[in-house]
Structure 1
C-alpha cells in the first residue's frame, strides 16, 4: 500500500510527499448505512444498495497481504536480509521504533490465517513472495526452505478453494542487491529476470494469477527520493533511473510469465488517485496535470507503448539519459489486466515554493472532507473517476481493483472490534465500483487491503487496515465487523 501524497518539493529539488494529520477516523461516511460510532446496531445486518451478484458471477473477491508486512521469521528458514530489515532497525525510521521481525507471524500461522480468508467468503488471496526468502543474496543459490514455504501456502490456498494471486515484487529488495546499487543499477533488469524466471518455474503449475510489481511509484519516490521508505535514499537525481529500471522490469516480468506459465493471467499494480485542481485557475489546472503524470500515468503509459508522460511534466524528459537502444520497445507489454490501487482523493494547487513539480497538496482537513485515521481523504467517487480515466486507454483490456482500504483506530471491546467506519467505507467504494461496471468499464475484481492488521511500513503497527484485528503481543486474531460485513455480502446471507 502506498503512503504517498504529492505535497511539495524542497528548494534543493528533493521530493517531499507530505506528512499525515493525526485526525481520528471518520464517522461522517457511516450515514450510508445509517450507522454511527455511537450506535449499537450491527452494520453487517443492514442492507446495502447492491448484492455480490450484480458485480457478475466471474467477479473476483479477495484480500491482499505483502510478505514483509506479515511473515515475520526474518532470520528463519534460510531467508536473506531485505532492505526493509535493515531500514526498519535504523533509529527514527519507523514510528515507535517498530520492526517486522515477528509481524503477524504468518510464516508459522499461515494455515489458520488462510482459513479466515475462506471463512469470510473470499475466493482469492493475493500475497507477495519475499525475494530474499527464495534467493537470499538476490541471485544464484536457491533457498529450498523458502521455496517449500511458498509451496505450502499455495497448496493450502488450493485445498481451501482459494485462488492464489502472487505479487513478484512488493518493495522488499534483497539487501545484497541494494549494496550493488539496487534499483539505480541497470543490472537489476537481469537480476529481476532471474528471480521472475525462477518463480514462474517453481509456482506456475498452480499459480495462474500474477502481479509483476506493486506500486512502483512508491519505490522510486519514497525509497530512493525522499528516503521515507527503504532503502532510505534521498535525492532527486535517483528518481529517473529508478523509474526507468522499474518500468523495464515491469514489462520484462510480464514477458517471462507469459513464456513460462500456461494460461497465466498477468497484470501489474499501480497506485492511483483521481487528481483535482483546487480552483479552475490555469496554474492549478496545470499543477493537477503534473501530479496526474507522476501519480497515475508514469508506469501505465510506457507499458502501453505510449512512452513516459513528458507532455505534462517536462522534467521526465531527463529519463532519456538512462535509456538504451531498444528500451522504448522493451518497456511495452500487453498485460491481461491492470491493477488499480485506490485509497484516497488528492486535490492540488500551484505553488511557487515547490520547485520541479510546482505544486502542493491541499490537505483534506482544510477542505472539511471526511478522512481516515491517517488523514487520507475518503472520496468514493474518486475510485469511480480513476476507473473511468484508465478505461480511456485503448490498450487496457481489464481492470482489477487490486488494493483498496482504510485505517481506523480500532478497539477490542468485549472480544469484538466494531469498525463501523471501515464497513461503511467499503460499502461506499464498492457502490462506485459497481457504478463504473454498470457503465461498461471492464472491472473484474476487488481485492481488499488488508486481510489483517500488519506492519504498515513507516507507520509501524500504528495504522490498522485489516479486516482481522491482530494483537501483536499475543498474535490473537479477531475478525472485525468489516470482515463480517464481507462475509454476509459474499455468502449472500
Structure 2
C-alpha cells in the first residue's frame, strides 16, 4: 500500500523562517530584502506580505507538536538572518529544545533567502564581503546551539535565488542583472564554503547544502535546441553543484563570468569544495528548452519569464497533470536527476531530498472538520516511489522531507499557493491537519523498523 524504504531512512518536513515566522519586529529584528521587496506595489500577488505569515514565532510549540505527532524524524527549518543579527537567539533556543523534547531532530538551514537589508545596501551578494558575514552568522548560531544541534544545512537553492533575484527581478532583491549576476552565485558558493569551515571548527556532526535540481531536456534533436538546453542546464544546475562536488565551474565562460582573479578563484574553489556529509536535493518539476524562435511568445511557461536576449527559451513540459501553481507533475524527473547526479559526481555524498511537494488550492475544512487533499497524497506517493526507484538504481538516498509542514507565504505568489500538510486559516491562524498529514503519518508508521 505504501512505498517502502530501507531501515534507517529518515522522513521529515521542511519550512523556512521568512515564510512562516511572522513577528516582523519582534526582538529588534530589522528588515530583510524580502520586507523591502514586498513593500513595492505589484511585487507580490494581492499586495500581500509576511509580517504575520503563519505566526510560527508565537505558535512554534503547537506547530512542533503537530509535526512530531506525524512521526517524522527530522524538521528542516531556517534561521532568520535579520533576527539573529539583532541578537534574538532565544526563539531558536526554545524551538530547538521543543523539537528535541518531542523526539524530532533539528535540521536547520543557515540561509534561506532573507538577507538583511543592511547587507543588501552594502552590495548584497554582489559584494564578496557578504560571504564573510554569512560565516559570522554561522559562528553565532553554532556557538549558541551547537551543544544541541548536530546537523546543519548551509544554503538553500542558490540557483533560484541568483536567477530570480539577481539575474531577473521577480524575487528580492530584484536586481535584473542578467548574466552579470554570476558574481552573486560565486559569493553564495563562497559563503557555503566558509560556513562549512566554521561549522567544522566547532565540531558540527554533519553538514550539507540544499540545492534545487531538475532534469533539463531539449525540445527536439535539432543541434540548436540541444545546445540551448545544455547552456541552460549548466547555468541553473551545474554552476551551483560542480564547484561544490568537483571543485570547478562547468565551463570557462562561467568561470570567467564570476569576476574573480584566477589565483583567488582557485583558493575560493578549494574552500567551496569542502567535504560534505550529505547533499540536499530539492525537486519540483523538470524543464524543457529550445533555441529561441523569432516572434514566438515564451511568456508564462515558467514561474518567471526568461529575457528574450538569452540563448535559450523554455517550452511547456508535456504532463498529464499540473499543480495549481501550474508546475508539471513528473515524478520520473526526480529519479532521473538523482541518477544523473550519481553519474556526474563519483564522490556524491548520501542524498537527502530536502524539499519536494506541491501547491494545491485546498478548500477550508468542511463540515467534517477535514481538509481533503487527495491530489497532494497522489503527488507525494508518486514522488516517493520515484525516490525508491532511484535507490533501486544504486543512488544512496537517506531521507525525504515534504515541503512544507504548514501553509506559508509563498514568496511573490503570496498566500494563494498552499504547499502544507497542515492547513492554515490566514484570517484566524487556526491549524487543521490535512488528509495528506494523516497519509504521511501512516506511511512513516508502515516502514520497516530501524
TM range (shorter): over 0.9
Equivalent of 1:61, from 1, 11, 25? 11
Cα displacement (A) at 1:315: 5.0
CA contact (8 A) 1:340 1:402 kept: yes
Cα deviation code 1:220-263 (max 9, x no counterpart): 1111121111112122254111011011111111111111134x
* Residue of structure 1 in register with 2:223 after alignment: 282
Aligned-CA RMSD value: 1.6
Cα deviation code 1:322-342 (max 9, x no counterpart): 665222322221111110100
* Residue of structure 2 in register with 1:441 after alignment: 395
Cα deviation code 1:387-419 (max 9, x no counterpart): 001112012121111100000111122221111
* Residue of structure 1 in register with 2:303 after alignment: none
3-state SS, counterpart of residue 89 of structure 2: helix
CA contact (8 A) 2:20 2:408 kept: yes
Q: Equivalences for 1:467-482 in 2 at 5 Å?
A: 467-482=421-436
1:110 and 2:64 correspond: no
Cα deviation code 1:435-481 (max 9, x no counterpart): 11122211000011000110000000011000011000001111111
1:360 and 2:313 correspond: yes
Cα displacement (A) at 1:492: 2.6
- Provide the C-alpha distance between the structure 1 equivalents of 2:27 and 2:7, rounded to a whole number of angstroms: 40
Structure 2: runs of 5+ lacking an equivalent: 295-306
Structure 1: runs of 5+ lacking an equivalent: 1-46, 137-142
Q: Equivalences for 1:402-413 in 2 at 5 Å?
A: 402-412=354-364, 413=366
1:306 and 2:259 correspond: no
Q: Could you state the TM-score of these two structures normalised by the residue count of structure 1?
A: 0.84
Q: Aligned in 2, Cα 1:90/1:219: closer, same or farther, shift over 3 Å?
A: same
Cα displacement (A) at 1:346: 1.1
Deviant stretches of 4+, over 3 Å? 314-317, 320-324, 352-357
Q: Equivalences for 1:28-427 in 2 at 5 Å?
A: 47-48=1-2, 50-51=3-4, 55-136=5-86, 143=87, 146-236=88-178, 238-262=180-204, 264-310=205-251, 314=253, 317-321=256-260, 325=264, 326-352=267-293, 357-364=310-317, 367=318, 369-392=320-343, 393-412=345-364, 413-414=366-367, 415-427=369-381
* Residue of structure 2 in register with 1:10 after alignment: none
Q: Aligned in 2, Cα 1:128/1:85: closer, same or farther, shift over 3 Å?
A: same
Cα deviation code 1:19-46 (max 9, x no counterpart): xxxxxxxxxxxxxxxxxxxxxxxxxxxx
**Structure with more contact order per residue of length (Cα contacts < 8 Å, sep ≥ 6):** 1
Cα displacement (A) at 1:90: 1.3
- Provide the C-alpha distance between the structure 2 equivalents of 1:320 and 1:307, rounded to a whole number of angstroms: 14
Q: Could you state the TM-score of these two structures normalised by the residue count of structure 2?
A: 0.92
* Residue of structure 1 in register with 2:445 after alignment: 491
CA contact (8 A) 2:247 2:269 kept: no
- Provide the C-alpha distance between the structure 2 equivalents of 1:241 and 1:261, rounded to a whole number of angstroms: 30
- Provide the C-alpha distance between the structure 2 equivalents of 1:127 and 1:201, rounded to a whole number of angstroms: 18
Cα deviation code 1:107-155 (max 9, x no counterpart): 000000000111112111000001111113xxxxxx1xx2111000000
